[in-house]
């Protein structure tokens, strides 16, 4: 083997090149993962957009908590209407408003017509302006205060094998802005009295959706303030001169997403919903960073997002939703179920700030705002200008009552360093997978067969008997290294998994704040253990075939993974297996190179013959006396000669005994004839530069020295990029979910899996890596292991989430504050709360509310959610917070509830036993879009008004039990009202107290829809 070239397969070259490649890839991946592209210095880079204006709007929007059930929410809604009007006026476009109740106002363009004199004829320009006034307005603002919907959903958790049901009545108050496209039909085609209202109008339009409500404990900067501001800027962009879209744009500002995706569901009863063929949903599940593409309905619509300057995301996140690993949802699911084709783009980290008081403009940035805004502009530009017919044709859901939007195909997509975006069809991936499954092993078998026929297949070559000398076996040592990889891999992976279990047992939440410490521990442990086994085996029994054997094993393991990925692609439409397809393709090519390089070797028979000839030569030479033998014989012949006389004065200066002095004797005895090295290979004098590495098989001297680098470049860089960025995304997405009740072991197993996958490209070459790197990584492992086992998992920048709710029994005045979370930390938090001091803290599990966490309660300060009478303590006014009346129909299993609550728009009727039907007075008739109460019944009715302190009138019926007759049975339960407005200090003193005294490593967030629940019992 030629070892003098700089690319030779020698320790220094391997160590240098592999280290440089890994660092050159992993460092940029981390930079892309942790940073956001800088916003442009020019805030009006796009004509029609203004980043400075957008940032100021975001500050105004997030100036307080604004959940649906709060006064601040009403203020935000009014502000949005004013901002939309201001944007349209500033762009000098004509627009009108429509509240779907017959009240319509025409707003002309703000620029007046030129005034002409009495004796002057109107100019052509004046005629054009008059004509413009008669044309349909460029935009229409819908102030939707009519839409409502009723539905029932089954939960995944039930009692006695029955899934609990939750019924909902919701009154929407969305804002919808329609920007007319050049290809849209003229006229107010959405009105019921329009002459052609019975048919679908135009070729459809593109919707951008964002919700303007926040949670009751978060300011909603990224969830979903940035989305709302982006939608405002899109209105500004598409109503700017020169930017008018071909297809119409619908901007939906929906209200009520946080409590159950209610605003999006209410929109579906609006006439504009039938006009939408594609959509872009903007969301937030973090508090800054990059906006990622969560999900997409199909390949074709995903290509629109690929036009973004800094695309970010992978289809693996969509698979997480599809497989049920991600339990939260966005409005995307509502629109997808309606047959719309579209995208779900959202902020996703850091989750530690999600739904907290740090979801504000202080903890996000203009860079994050620009990342979502610029991507949205490019996406909508593509969708509104597409004329290819991609989004035309018969609908996938075959609903002829909606605009035609064609049928999409399942897709695969991922970004590269946040700069490039790969998009292709799932069927393409399946074809690639199937071809690779079949063709790759066949090619390797064919090449192996040719090598065998050429007598150059050295793998699995053992002892061979030369022709004519069958009694003399010669070993080629071809089995050396055959089973090292599976042993090293299993042991190293087992140690890495064991470390994950150890961390899970001792300090399970350290990954919450220190995911890179966990990454470092896992990577260094796997590398060190794998290197130690492979390098140790190679030291004891060196083998030139070690690289090839490792690739063979990797190919077999990868092929098995590819089988599973292909099945998931075909049967379950799961696209995330693309990374295994790419991985196996790289392994196949590297393995093929490993086989092809064997053609450079001499035939095995020539090696064996040369070995045999050398062996016979040695035997012949040994039979002929040589110089040493002659010298020894001469010495032996003088054994009987007396010893030389002792030297004296008369002794000659130079001895004359046979003319032999000490130098001459030394030279004679030191001379030895050099025999060829014939242990297991041959050397040829004219090829002095070709020699095997170390003690490896001598026949490997003729192997090319540079092929290892080709193999590494095939196996390493691209797969490291693909695997690395998916691993970073998944670990970041799961690292901070343990406090939500999610499995604590999951993120550690994800780290372990991707640590192994990232380092496997080193597998065939790691035995050549010098000891310096594993020595350094061993120190890293020891340090990170100690840190991960002992460090406190939370900090000021990575706060633990504890969930708050206060419940008040309005009948008895019993007041309980509940802090939910992992019991160890919740008890610690409560120990800091003054009002809880000295109380016995009871912690219980409530799987029907949230599994995996404990609910710890104590008696706290009285709530002041209802305006109190001076001098009267809140506990004395509880009865007035909520009033209800229940009237039962005579001899029927039916009853009517009349419910009113002060300072609230939300109440609930909870039943101890299921009911089978309900109707809210004033609700729209069911159109079959939403599920009715199932046969198994429902357990509660959530009631949401758009107005304050309005009475609900609800009819309820329940089934007749076996052996009973109608009218014999009643129902019991509780009527509950919710309060969620926490903007004024002192409104909820218990929450103020917990937020004030809880340790700095803690954030307090809402547990349920209401921060405070007040309830009264009922019996029918």
By DSSP bridging, strand 906-915 and strand 972-979 are antiparallel
Query: d(Cα 887, Cα 898) in Å, to the nearest integer?
Result: 9
Is 820 strand, coil or helix?
A: strand
| Count of CB atoms situated within 10 Å of the CB of 427 | 15
Query: d(Cα 44, Cα 860) in Å, to the nearest integer?
Result: 52
Is 497 strand, coil or helix?
A: helix
| DSSP symbols for 654-699 | S--STT--HHHHHHHHH--PPPP--SS----GGGTT---STTS-GG
Query: d(Cα 529, Cα 499) in Å, to the nearest integer?
Result: 12
Of 100, 98, 97, residue with least CA distance to 89: 97
Query: d(Cα 438, Cα 98) in Å, to the nearest integer?
Result: 61
231 and 79 in contact (C-beta within 8 Å)? no
Q: How crowded is the C-beta side of 473, counted as CA atoms within 13 Å?
A: 7
Q: Is 257 a catalytic residue?
A: yes
Query: d(Cα 919, Cα 913) in Å, to the nearest integer?
Result: 18
Query: d(Cα 771, Cα 11) in Å, to the nearest integer?
Result: 9
801 and 352 in contact (C-beta within 8 Å)? yes
134 and 186 in contact (C-beta within 8 Å)? no
| DSSP symbols for 287-324 | SSS-EEEEEES-HHHHHHHTTSSS---BHHHHHHHHTT
Radius of gyration of the chain (CA): 39
819 and 803 in contact (C-beta within 8 Å)? yes
From the centroid of its chain, how far is CA 20? Answer: 28
Query: d(Cα 560, Cα 429) in Å, to the nearest integer?
Result: 17
Sign of CA dihedral 137, 103, 922, 1016: positive
Q: What is the 3-state secondary structure (H, E, C) of 353-381?
A: HCCCCCCCCCCCCHHHHHHHHHHHHHHHH
Of 742, 750, 728, residue with least CA distance to 289: 728
Query: For residue 6, what is the DSSP state?
Result: T
897 and 954 in contact (C-beta within 8 Å)? yes
Query: d(Cα 699, Cα 464) in Å, to the nearest integer?
Result: 14
In 360-483, alpha helices (H): 366-385, 426-453
Query: d(Cα 215, Cα 200) in Å, to the nearest integer?
Result: 37
Q: Which member of 257, 283, 349, 1013 is catalytic?
A: 257
Start-to-end CA span in the chain (Å): 92
What lies within 8 Å, CB to CB, of 293 at 6+ separation is 302, 305, 311, 312, 313, 317, 343, 344, 345, 413
The residues annotated as belonging to the active site are: 257
């Amino acid at each position: 083997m030629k070892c003098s070239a700089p690319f030779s397969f020698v320790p220094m070259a391997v160590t240098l090149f592999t280290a440089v490649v890994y660092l050159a890839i992993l460092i940029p991946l981390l930079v892309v993962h942790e940073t956001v592209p800088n916003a442009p210095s020019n805030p009006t880079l796009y004509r029609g957009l203004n980043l400075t204006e957008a940032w100021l709007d975001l500050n105004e929007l997030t100036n307080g908590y604004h959940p649906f059930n709060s006064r601040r929410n009403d203020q935000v809604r009014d502000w949005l209407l004013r901002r939309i009007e201001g944007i349209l006026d500033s762009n000098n476009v004509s627009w009108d408003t429509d509240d779907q109740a017959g009240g319509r106002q025409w707003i002309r363009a703000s620029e007046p017509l030129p005034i002409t004199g009495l004796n002057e004829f109107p100019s052509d320009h004046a005629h054009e302006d008059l004509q413009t006034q008669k044309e349909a307005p460029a935009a229409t603002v819908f102030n939707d205060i009519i839409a409502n919907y009723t539905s029932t959903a089954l939960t995944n958790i039930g009692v006695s094998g029955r899934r609990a049901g939750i019924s909902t009545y919701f009154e929407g108050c969305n804002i919808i802005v329609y920007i007319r496209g050049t290809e849209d039909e003229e006229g107010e085609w959405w009105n019921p009295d329009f002459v052609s209202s019975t048919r679908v109008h135009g070729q459809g339009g593109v919707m951008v959706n964002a919700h303007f409500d926040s949670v009751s404990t978060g300011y909603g900067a990224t969830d979903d303030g940035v989305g709302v501001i982006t939608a405002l800027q899109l209105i500004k962009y598409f109503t700017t001169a020169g930017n008018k879209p071909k297809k119409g744009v619908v901007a939906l500002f929906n209200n009520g997403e946080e409590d159950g995706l209610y605003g999006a569901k209410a929109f579906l009863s609006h006439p504009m919903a039938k006009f939408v063929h594609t959509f872009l949903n903007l969301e937030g599940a973090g508090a800054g960073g990059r906006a990622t593409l969560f999900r997409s309905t199909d390949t074709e619509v995903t290509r629109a997002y690929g036009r973004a300057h800094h695309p970010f995301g992978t289809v693996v996140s969509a698979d997480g939703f599809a497989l049920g690993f991600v339990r939260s949802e966005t409005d995307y699911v509502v629109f997808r179920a309606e047959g719309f084709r579209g995208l779900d783009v959202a902020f996703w980290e850091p989750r530690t700030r999600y739904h907290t008081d740090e979801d504000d403009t202080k903890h996000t940035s203009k860079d994050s705002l620009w990342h979502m805004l610029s991507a949205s502009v490019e996406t909508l530009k593509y969708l509104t200008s597409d004329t290819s017919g991609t989004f035309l044709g018969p609908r996938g859901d075959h609903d002829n009552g909606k605009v035609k939007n064609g049928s999409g195909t399942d897709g695969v997509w991922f970004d590269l360093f946040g700069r490039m975006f790969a998009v292709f069809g799932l069927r393409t991936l399946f074809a690639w997978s199937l071809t690779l499954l079949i063709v790759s092993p066949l090619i390797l078998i064919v090449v192996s067969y040719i090598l065998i026929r050429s007598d150059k297949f050295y793998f699995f070559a053992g002892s061979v008997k030369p022709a004519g000398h069958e009694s003399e076996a010669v070993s080629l040592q071809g089995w050396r290294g055959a089973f090292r990889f599976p042993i090293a891999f299993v042991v190293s992976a087992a140690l890495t998994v064991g470390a994950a279990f150890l961390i899970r047992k001792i300090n399970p939440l350290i990954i919450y704040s220190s995911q890179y410490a966990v990454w470092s521990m896992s990577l260094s442990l796997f590398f060190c253990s794998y290197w130690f086994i492979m390098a140790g085996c190679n030291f004891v029994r060196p083998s030139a075939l070690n690289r090839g054997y490792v690739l063979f094993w990797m190919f077999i393991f990868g092929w098995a993974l590819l089988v599973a990925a292909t099945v998931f692609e075909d049967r379950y439409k799961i696209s995330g297996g693309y990374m295994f397809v790419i991985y196996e393709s790289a392994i196949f090519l590297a393995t093929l190179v490993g086989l092809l390089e064997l053609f450079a070797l001499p035939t095995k028979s020539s090696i064996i013959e040369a070995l045999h000839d050398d062996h016979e030569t040695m035997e012949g030479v040994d039979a002929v006396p040589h110089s040493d033998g002659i010298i020894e014989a001469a010495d032996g012949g003088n054994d009987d000669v007396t010893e030389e006389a002792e030297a004296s004065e008369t002794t000659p200066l130079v001895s004359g005994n046979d003319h032999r002095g000490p130098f001459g004797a030394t030279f004679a005895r030191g001379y030895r004839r050099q025999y060829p090295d014939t242990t297991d290979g041959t050397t040829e004098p004219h090829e002095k530069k070709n020699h095997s590495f170390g003690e490896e098989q001598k026949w490997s001297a003729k192997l090319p020295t540079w092929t290892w680098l080709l193999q590494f470049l095939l196996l390493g860089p691209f797969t490291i990029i693909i695997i690395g960025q998916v691993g970073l995304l998944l670990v970041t997405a799961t690292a901070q979910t343990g406090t939500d009740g999610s499995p604590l072991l999951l993120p550690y197993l994800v780290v372990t899996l991707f640590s192994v996958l990232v380092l496997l490209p080193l597998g065939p070459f790691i035995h050549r890596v010098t000891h310096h790197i594993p020595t350094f990584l061993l120190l890293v492992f020891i340090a990170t292991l100690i840190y991960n086992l002992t460090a406190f998992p939370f900090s000021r920048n990575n706060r633990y989430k504890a969930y708050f709710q206060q419940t008040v029994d309005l009948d008895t005045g019993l007041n309980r504050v509940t802090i939910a979370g992992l019991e160890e930390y919740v008890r610690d938090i409560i120990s800091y709360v003054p009002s809880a001091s000295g109380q016995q803290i009871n912690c219980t599990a409530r799987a029907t509310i949230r599994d995996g966490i404990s609910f710890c309660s104590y008696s706290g300060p009285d709530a002041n959610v209802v305006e109190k009478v001076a001098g009267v303590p809140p506990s004395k006014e509880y009865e007035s917070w909520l009033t209800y009346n229940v009237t039962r129909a005579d001899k029927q299993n039916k009853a009517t509830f009349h419910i009113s609550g002060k300072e609230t728009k939300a109440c609930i009727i909870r039943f101890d036993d299921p009911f089978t039907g309900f109707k809210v007075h004033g609700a729209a008739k069911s159109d079959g879009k939403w599920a009715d109460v199932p046969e198994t019944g429902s357990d509660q009715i959530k009631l949401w008004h758009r107005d304050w302190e309005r009475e609900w009138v609800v009819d309820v019926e329940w089934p007749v039990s076996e052996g009973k007759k109608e009218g014999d049975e009643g129902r019991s339960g509780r009527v509950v009202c919710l309060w969620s407005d926490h903007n004024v200090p002192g409104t909820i003193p218990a929450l103020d107290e917990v937020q004030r005294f809880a340790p700095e490593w803690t954030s307090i967030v809402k547990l349920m829809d209401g921060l405070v629940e007040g309830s009264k019992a009922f019996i029918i």
